[in-house]
Structure 1
């Protein structure tokens, strides 16, 4: 059984803590936060011991690997420290918010090679994985369109928006990674537009809460993403792959999937899964399982730091496209 240190004790610690405890190949040794009181509160929920000394955590022989679940602007510091200490890393997405800082992460991993996995957890959602496999197996022939709908129930707090890096980096990056992974290619150009339709405070920060993005792949396949920071009926998450020989779709998840037909309704009565914590609950476990299998099988995890750089380059191109009102080529190099 591999011992883990969990860096961070906020919302994402409450996602990963239960998944670590449920996995037969992991056990939670330490929760780290430079604010010890916060780490102690997380330990009360998930177990392990609390620590506010990073050097002590990374020097602990009981720690076989580290999960970084801290704010994005701290990832570089922690990746560098973990790599130097020789500890394998699972890091929440995005790797960082600028390509310059991501490149410093890559430099650290090159100087101190350790297994590294980026937490694009949606790749590990069972429905999405089946769609991706079917596309790669040629079940619908050559792809022509890929479409992703990703709409959140309500706008986040403004304090979160200010640290998010913007809507494309914070949210659309999930869709970008998924569509590139499904298509097996990355876009030659992107065109994105956005509006602020739900929360004027987001507009005051120079950000948007509704976006549409089109990515043109080298094969000619067109990938479309629409995102919204608000959705009256819950967490709307759908994918569609349209090919020359057919179509594949993933549908929304509900607590009650029974469809009722009468003189007042022709649909399921329950609302959609409220947010990503519920909708993608299983995906976080499966992502950690991939990390565990990569470590025990001594192979590279399937979602890499390079994947994170690619997704960020595309997200930054989307933001540039929105601001400049034109198609933009992502800066991959």
Structure 2
């Protein structure tokens, strides 16, 4: 029988609406509480997903039915919640990133050191079945030694400018996913990064000093080169692909479609249906698998596989990429 953990979900925004259904779908998790300092927001979420609405975090953390906490609140609140939840002795699953600055990430890690609890950072793309299969192929030696590892990650359309202004910049907001994923696959972290950026889709993004089109190269200690290309817009949908190239071969992931048939006739020579629209659809299963890893680690008494240290490293690399793009030179990350 699966051991059940009672969960408190902090937040009622977009990511909370991702995790609410996944918690309910997992046989080892039970949604006990949804917290928001605005009770009306908590009540609306409870009406959708169940549990009890609470607007007092102290009451949430004192609740004996709450065995673990999922933090799905805005990034600038993560530090405060991590400090309070860790002090209460509850295991934590936190949506990425930990924060947008290394100083605040270090404060969060200090809190976790002072109050050791199981902690997992929500780098969900590690848990996508296709991405995991590619990593397994690499780790099993199918392509020999990695020479190049490449990621294409292009979004359907630019986000609202209000989001861009608080996102931390394109590298910290979006490229960080690719950084973590590729370093996880490669099993090492870069000694040097080179990045460049442009703004070709939304002039408002450029006016904020940010990019909507970037290319990034990570140079690894082994000599392998990792390439990431990101775009805030893509006419044909949410383009998500990986390629690992080694001295014995290559493995790739392909985009997901609702219809994967390849049709050949007078009008068509390939599947023409749109790609999965955005991350909520494309990576739907990965959020469930990430929570499953969190549950399994707590029950087994081991550390979850996506750690605070992983989050700090990915942020350090992303910040180095942003600096490289601004300064037009290679940068060594501040680990």
Shorter-chain TM-score above 0.5: yes
Give CA deviations for 1:192-217 in whole Å, capped at 9, x if unaligned: 00011111111111111000000000
For the residues of structure 2 that align with 1:17 and 1:36, how far apart are their CA atoms? Answer: 17
Unaligned runs of 5+ in 1: none
The corresponding residue for 1:284 is 287
The corresponding residue for 1:204 is 207
Give CA deviations for 1:31-84 in whole Å, capped at 9, x if unaligned: 111111111111111111111101110111110000000111110000000000
The corresponding residue for 2:145 is 142
For the residues of structure 1 that align with 2:265 and 2:16, how far apart are their CA atoms? Answer: 44
Q: 1:42 aligns with which of 40, 45, 70?
A: 45
For the residues of structure 1 that align with 2:88 and 2:165, how far apart are their CA atoms? Answer: 32
For the residues of structure 2 that align with 1:266 and 1:35, how far apart are their CA atoms? Answer: 53
For the residues of structure 1 that align with 2:269 and 2:299, how far apart are their CA atoms? Answer: 49
Give CA deviations for 1:202-234 in whole Å, capped at 9, x if unaligned: 111111100000000010000000000000110
TM-score, normalising length from structure 1? 0.99
Whether 2:277 is the aligned partner of 1:274: answer: yes
The more displaced of 260-269 and 89-98 is 260-269
Whether 2:326 is the aligned partner of 1:323: answer: yes
Whether 2:221 is the aligned partner of 1:218: answer: yes
Q: 1:70 aligns with which of 66, 73, 76?
A: 73
CA drift of 1:24 comes to: 0.2
For the residues of structure 2 that align with 1:31 and 1:162, how far apart are their CA atoms? Answer: 28
For the residues of structure 2 that align with 1:83 and 1:170, how far apart are their CA atoms? Answer: 25
The corresponding residue for 2:34 is 31
For the residues of structure 1 that align with 2:266 and 2:208, how far apart are their CA atoms? Answer: 46
SS in 2 for 1:259: coil
For the residues of structure 2 that align with 1:219 and 1:111, how far apart are their CA atoms? Answer: 35
The corresponding residue for 2:14 is 11
TM-score, normalising length from structure 2? 0.98
Give CA deviations for 1:232-275 in whole Å, capped at 9, x if unaligned: 11000000000000000000000000001112211112100000
Q: 2:99 aligns with which of 86, 96, 101?
A: 96
SS in 2 for 1:202: helix
SS in 2 for 1:28: strand
Q: 1:154 aligns with which of 157, 160, 171?
A: 157
The corresponding residue for 2:166 is 163
For the residues of structure 1 that align with 2:61 and 2:161, how far apart are their CA atoms? Answer: 34
The corresponding residue for 1:112 is 115
Q: 1:20 aligns with which of 19, 23, 37?
A: 23
The corresponding residue for 1:80 is 83
Unaligned runs of 5+ in 2: none
Give CA deviations for 1:140-174 in whole Å, capped at 9, x if unaligned: 00000000000000111111111110000000000
Q: 1:193 aligns with which of 196, 209, 224?
A: 196
SS in 2 for 1:268: coil
Whether 2:248 is the aligned partner of 1:245: answer: yes
The corresponding residue for 1:131 is 134
For the residues of structure 2 that align with 1:36 and 1:193, how far apart are their CA atoms? Answer: 44
SS in 2 for 1:240: strand
The corresponding residue for 2:308 is 305
Q: Once superposed, what is the RMSD of the aligned Cα atoms? A: 0.6
For the residues of structure 2 that align with 1:139 and 1:186, how far apart are their CA atoms? Answer: 21
SS in 1 for 2:176: helix
For the residues of structure 2 that align with 1:123 and 1:17, how far apart are their CA atoms? Answer: 20
